[in-house]
Structures are given as C-alpha cells and as structure tokens.
Amino acid sequence: MIITGAISHPRMVASLLKSLADLHDGNLPYAVAIFHQIPKASTFLWNTIIKACFRNHAPEESISFYLQMRRKDILPDNYTFQFLFKACSQCTLTQGGEAIHGNFTKLFGKSDVLVGNALIHMYSEFGWADVARQVFEEMGLKNVVSWTATVGGYVKIGAMAEAHRLFDEMPERNVVSWTSMIAGFAQNGMAEEAVGYFRRMLAEKIRPDVVALVSVLSACAQLKDLDLGKWVHQFVDRERICMSGNFSVALIDMYAKCGDLDAARKVFNYTDRKSLASWNAIIDGYCKVGDLCEARLLFDQMVERDLITFNSMITGFVHRSRHKEALLLFSELRASGLNPDKFTYVGLLTACSNLGALNQGKLLHAYIEESSIELDVFLETALLDMYAKCGKIDQATLVFNRMPKKDVLAWTAMISGLAVHGSGRSALSHFSMMQKQGVRPNVVAYIGVLNACSHSGLVEEGRLHFNEMISKYNIEPEVEHYGCMIDLLGRAGYLKEAEELIETMPIEPNAVIWGSLLGACRVYNDVNLAEKAAKHLLILEPDKDAVYVLLYNVYVSSGRWANAAEIRQMMEDRGIKKIAGCSSIVVDGLVHEFIAGDRSHTQFKEIQAIIGEMVKRLKLLGYVAGTSQISLDIDEEEKEDALFSHSEKMAIAFGIMKVGGNLPIHVLKNLRVPTSMRVNNAGDDSHPQHIEIRFLLENIEAQLKGFKITGYQLDSMTEEHR
C-alpha cells in the first residue's frame, strides 16, 4: 500500500485499520501508528481504534482515545459507547464508567439493546447488580443476552435467590443462561442446586458446553458425587466435545476429591499440555487422601510451582502431623521467591503449635508483621493458639486483646489456652465475656471450658457447664465432653460418680475415658475400679504401654506384688516396652535433648551436681519427694533415687548452667519418644529438631546479608560451615 500510494486513500486505510482491530492480540502500536497518519478520521475510524485497544487488553487506551475524540469535537455514536462500556468493564473503571454513562444519556437518552447489554455487563462487572437491574428495567427492547447479563450480575455478587427469581421469569434461555446459574450455585457452595439446574438443562434439551460441564464437575467434587462426575466424563467423550485445559483440571479435581486417585492420575497422565493448575489439582488430591510420598514425588518433578502448590503440601503435612516437613517447605518457599499468604502462615503456625516450636513461631510472627498481609480472625487465632501451646500465655493474651473481631474459634482458642495453663477462673471469665458479647458457644468451646474446670479442680463449675450445654444451648455432649467430665471427677476423687457417668453415657466410652479413670484410680489407689478400667483399655488399645504401666503402679502402690509381676510378664510376652520421656532445650542455637534414664550427655556430671543442689535447696524449703507410689523398674522417673535421670529436671538444670539468670528457661517436653537421638554431625539432617536449627540459621544469614564483617564472606561459606 505504501509502495503503490494506496496508503493515502481513506477507504483503504480504514480497511487496514479495521483488519487490525478485528485481531485479538494483534499489534496495537502498529494500529495506533496508522491511525495517527489519518488526517481527518471519521467517527467510524475512532470507534475502530477504541475497539482495537480494548480487544488488545489496553482498555485505558480506549478511554484515552475517547477523550481525544471529544476534544476534537468528533461526535460519538452508539457503537462508540458500546465499545467504551466494554472497555470500562475490562479494567473495572467505576468512576469512568459512570461518567461515560452520563455522557451517553445526555447525547442519546435511552439506550438501544446493544448499548444496554454493554451497560448491564459493565455494572455487573463492577458488582453493582441493582444498577444493572435498573438499566435492564429501563430498556424498551430486551433479548436473551439482556436477561442473561442481568442474571449474571446477581450471580457475580452471590445473590442466588434474586438470580433464581429473574431466571425463572426469562421468556427464553440459552446455554449461557443455564451455565451462569450452574456456575453461580457451584461457586457459592450450593452444589445440590447446581446439579439440579444441570438436570433441568438436560431435560429442556439444551446441550451443555464445556464451560457448563466444568461447573458441574466442581459441584460433583463438592458433593463427592463420583457417579455423576463419571457421567460427565463419558458425556464429553461420547459427544466429542473438545476438552479444554480448565475441563481437564476440573476432572482431575473431581476424581481426586471423590477419592478415585487412580482415575485422577490417569486423566493427569493423558493430558498433553499439563498446566500448573493440573499439577496442583493432582498434588492436592494426593495430599487430601494422605499419600504425601506420591504428592512429594510430583512436587519435586514440577518445573514451576506457585503458592497454591506449596500451600497444598504444607497443609497436607500438617494434617498428617508431619509438622517438621511443613516447616522445611517454608524454607523452600522463601528460596523460590514466592510470597506466603495467610493460608501459608496459618498452616505453619499450626505446625509450630503442635511442635512447641516457639522460636519458629516468633519468626513467623515477625515475617507476618513485616509483610503486607492483612491480619484476619483466622490468622490471628492461629497466632494466639501458637503462643498458648508454646507456653507463652501472656503473649497469646496480647494477641487476643488486639483482635478487632473475635469469632467463636478465637474465643475457644483463648479459653483452651488459659485452661492448659491452669488459669481455670480466667478461662471461665472469658467464656462468660464471650456469651455477653453475643457469641454462641459450640461443642469445641465447651471442651475448652470443661478442660479449664478439670485442670483447675473446679468441680461444681464443671457440673454446671456440662448440664448447661443441653439445657441452655441444646448441645448434645460428645465423647470428648464426657472425657473432660471423667477427668474432672477423677482428679477430684469422685471416682464413684465418674464410674456412674461412664455407665450412663449414651455413646460408647473410648480409650481416653477409660485411661482418665485408670489414672485417677492410681492416684486414689482404687484397685478394683482400676482393674475394671484396665480391662476395657486392654481391649481397646492392647499395644499401648500406658495401660500396663498405670495398672502395674496401682498394684505396686497396694502391695500386690504378684499381680504387678503378672503385668510385667504380660508386657514381656507381648513385646511391650515403656517408652522413655524426652525433654529438650535450645541453648545458643543448639538443641540439647535429654532422655529419661540416659546418662550420655557430655556434661552429665555437671548436670547431676546442679540437680543435687536444686534438690538440697528444695528440701530446706520443706519439699518431700512423693515416694508412696514408687514402682520397681517400670516408671523410673518417679523414683527419688532416679531423680537425676528425670528428663525435665536434666533440661532445667542444663538451662540453669547455660542460660543467664535473668532469662527464661523454655523446656519442650515430649512425653514419649521411641528412641534416643543425638546432636547431628555436619551434613546430617536426621536430628529431630533439624528444622528448628535450620530456621535459626536462615534467620542469621538473612540478618548478615548486607553487613560487612571482617573475615566473613556469606557466599564463600562451605557446606559444612552452613
């Protein structure tokens, strides 16, 4: 055109510009350059360049050209505004959209069906369903697109009841109308309604497209309706509908959430171009069924990962009590350059809570405060729960008091934290405040309340709240509530009442309940009731060491040595060994573990000396070791002559030796560990608190970056130094 001179012909240039505008993802700068060569562009050409901008994902440029058009006194037409409303929809330009709507009204008054549909779509995209409905009502002529766009506005804001009413008034429905309703129900957790509309759609002989089928698969995943999900899969194969990437992901997700991982994996394997979403769907599926080995294998094969990938793995590890692996993944997440979100931190804080990993929890809290993540009730509850479970109830209270909004989970976490710290009165006070603020307690809240009563010996209060559950809130006690009450009554010595409560339970008592009763029998030396409890426990948990140890101690305390010997023989015959207790303490960044009865620590003699001094001073203050329940060689930690090998005492003594006098000693108690472990050598990651050590080292390295230290080069660190 340039060579022949046709480029100067207005109609030829207009044709070229229109061709460029009709292309999606075309060369917009080229089209704009051609437009600027036109000396006197018509309204049609201005419309063409405005259309080209929003079709090439530059809606702001569309608005800019409209403003230039008005400055040149070029009169827009209906098509101009139709394109402009679409551009405003694309960039959610609310104020600009309203202003342009005002311009249109001044120039033309009422809109035709095309402009009206564009307006409805724009306001629907803004989330202004009522304004979209007003435009719809003012339209003289409406078509199926008008109805569908208005229904879609209500679907977009989740107003499914209004969408349903308008949908039923539609004189004509197409596949887009049906799909909009099905998708709306599926996205708003109304899976049964989504499936119902899908069946109605089929009954009216409307052939669903792949978009509708994706929403149906989402509903099937929510309902775990594997049969319908398989039918959809077969329908697509039978009708030869081209499977989009979204459909493949939805199919994998449906099979995974319905528990058919073999089918999900088959779809994943046969997907030619595996998107990141398909990888995430199959990994999440394996995580949810607990197959973390397969999930991790797939995770390691991925070339690209996003935050969803990491969150799925972290959540999977936490749900399967593999908390250290969850924390280790956080290190990989940070190394990848991705920014954690609140779901990441909730999972990691839960891991810290279960590990008692206070230092890591503090670091996570610092990361949260440094980031731009907005605190919400879920994240703040996870924070206070972490501090409470790591022994920092004051810090937990501080987090709780700063929360602007508290739901029942937050109140319950605070009540439970106070309960386990022995602050029963304070826990009950918080429970009372919760009720006064209009927060209705649930079953979990009452577990916290009853635990508070149990840990603080508040028998009357416990009875009152247990009965109040039913009379005031119509909450039927579950086995956990009965367990709390048995523990409360047993600790206080009301063994007969505890036994009667067990016998009148409407549900089958579990091992926790019988274990609580057996523990109380040991304290109060009730041999007959102990034998009854142990009989049930040996049926429920024949391989657990606790029942044998407790019953053995009851016999020893009562002087029934023959029965005690029988229990010891039974343990030997069944291969059951009492697992030693373990306590650990972090000093100068190193984790020191102490196993009950283990004397292998390099400073064991010094530790013994400190314990001896501790005991001497305690005795001067009137302390007398409780030796009335000493057994032979089953429960070594309870013997006064084995005092020096008590894991907690050794950890405390070591802390006194190494930690300054004004600093707190934080001991992590793991009641039972299967084997004794040692501090690891360089390159070895088998240490039980390897993750905590690595967390600390990463924090040190992060702080060292940017600082010049004589003789220290971060990049030149050898692996052993690291």
The string of pLDDT tens digits covering residues 681-693 is 344 444 545 555 5
Contact 593, 582 (CB under 8 A): yes
Please state the rounded mean pLDDT for residues 653-671: 76
The answer to whether 177 and 165 are in contact (CB under 8 A) is no
Asked whether the beta carbons of 336 and 308 are under 8 A apart, the reply is no
Q: Residues 121-142: pLDDT tens digits?
A: 888 888 888 888 988 888 878 8
CA proximity to 64, closest of 50, 79, 78: 50
User: What pLDDT does 660 receive?
Assistant: 66
Q: Please compute the mean of the pLDDT values over residues 337-360 and round it to a whole number.
A: 90
User: 639 pLDDT exceeds 70?
Assistant: no
Return the SS3 of 709. Answer: strand
Tokens standing for residue 716: 């030149």
Amino acid at 637: E
pTM of the model: 0.71
**Rounded CA gap, 518 and 498, in Å?**
11
Q: What sign does the dihedral 76-77-79-82 (CA atoms) show?
A: positive
29, pLDDT greater than 70: yes
**Residue 680 confidence (pLDDT):** 39
HSE, side-chain direction, 13 A CA sphere, residue 61: 17
> Is pLDDT of 709 > 60?
no
**pLDDT, tens digit (0-9, with 9 covering 90-100), for 267-282:** 999 888 889 999 999 9
In this structure, is the dihedral angle defined by the CA atoms of residues 657, 659, 661 and 665, taken in order, positive or negative?
negative
Q: How many CA atoms lie within 13 A of 461 on its CB side?
A: 20
SS3 247: helix
DSSP 303: S
Residue pair 477/450 in contact (Cβ under 8 Å)? The answer is no
Query: For 487-533, what is each residue's pLDDT tens digit?
Result: 999 999 999 999 999 999 999 998 889 988 888 888 888 888 988 88
- Tell me the three state secondary structure of residue 600: coil
Per-residue confidence band for 417, with pLDDT thresholds at 50, 70 and 90? very high
Task: Give me the pLDDT at residue 637, please.
Answer: 47
Q: Exposed e or buried b for every residue in 377-389, given b needs 16+ CB within 10 A? A: eebbbbbbbbbbb
**Is the predicted pLDDT of residue 633 greater than 60, yes or no?**
no
pLDDT at 142 (0 to 100)? 83
How large is the average pLDDT for residues 191-215?
Answer: 91
- Residue that is written with structure tokens 């309604």 in the block: 193
User: What is the predicted pLDDT for the residue at 500?
Assistant: 94
Separation CA 390–CA 413 (nearest Å): 13
Instruction: Give the pLDDT score at 536.
Output: 87
Q: What is the percent of the chain with per-residue pLDDT over 90, rounded to a whole number?
A: 37
**Average pLDDT along the chain:** 84
H/E segment holding residue 595: strand 590-595
State mean pLDDT over 426-438: 95
The pLDDT-based confidence of 679 (bands split at 50, 70, 90) is: very low
Classified as helix, coil or strand, 712 is: strand
Contacts for 114-120: CB closer than 8 Å, 24+ residues apart: 114/78, 114/82, 115/78, 115/81, 115/82, 115/85, 116/142, 116/146, 117/143, 117/145, 117/146, 117/149, 118/81, 118/82, 118/85, 118/86, 118/89, 119/85, 120/146, 120/149, 120/150, 120/153
Non-local (6+) Cβ contacts of 459 within 8 A are: 453, 488, 489, 492, 494
Q: Is 127 helix (H, G, I), strand (E, B) or coil?
A: coil
Check pLDDT > 50 for residue 711.
no
> What was the pLDDT predicted at 714?
41
pLDDT at 710: 38
Q: Name the band, by pLDDT with cuts 50, 70 and 90, for residue 468.
A: very high
Residue 178: its H or E element: helix 175-187
Length of the chain: 722
Q: Do 315 and 329 meet the contact criterion of CB atoms below 8 Å apart?
A: no
Q: Categorize the per-residue pLDDT at 674 as very low, low, confident or very high, splitting at 50, 70 and 90.
A: very low
Q: Which two tokens stand for residue 650?
A: 């050794």
Structure letter (DSSP) for residue 244: P
The C-alpha atoms of residue 462 and residue 488 are separated, in whole angstroms, by 8
pLDDT at residue 71 tops 70: yes
Q: How confident is the model at residue 634 (pLDDT cuts 50, 70, 90)?
A: very low
Q: In the prediction, which pLDDT does 448 show?
A: 94
User: Which of 123-127, 473-477, 669-673 has the highest average model confidence (pLDDT)?
Assistant: 473-477
What does the pLDDT read at residue 720?
40
pLDDT band at 55 (very low <50, low <70, confident <90, very high): confident
pLDDT surpasses 80 at 586? no
Q: Which of 44-58, 99-113, 390-404, 668-682 has the lowest mean pLDDT?
A: 668-682
Residues 6+ apart with CB under 8 A from 299: 283, 305, 309, 313
Phi, psi of 626, rounded to the nearest 5 degrees: -80, 100
Average pLDDT score over residue span 56-81: 88
pLDDT band at 439 (very low <50, low <70, confident <90, very high): very high
pLDDT in the model for residue 440: 94
Answer whether residue 99 shows pLDDT above 70. Answer: yes
What is the DSSP code string of 440-499?
PP-HHHHHHHHHHHHHHT-HHHHHHHHHHHHHHH-PPP-HHHHHHHHHHHHHTT-HHHHH
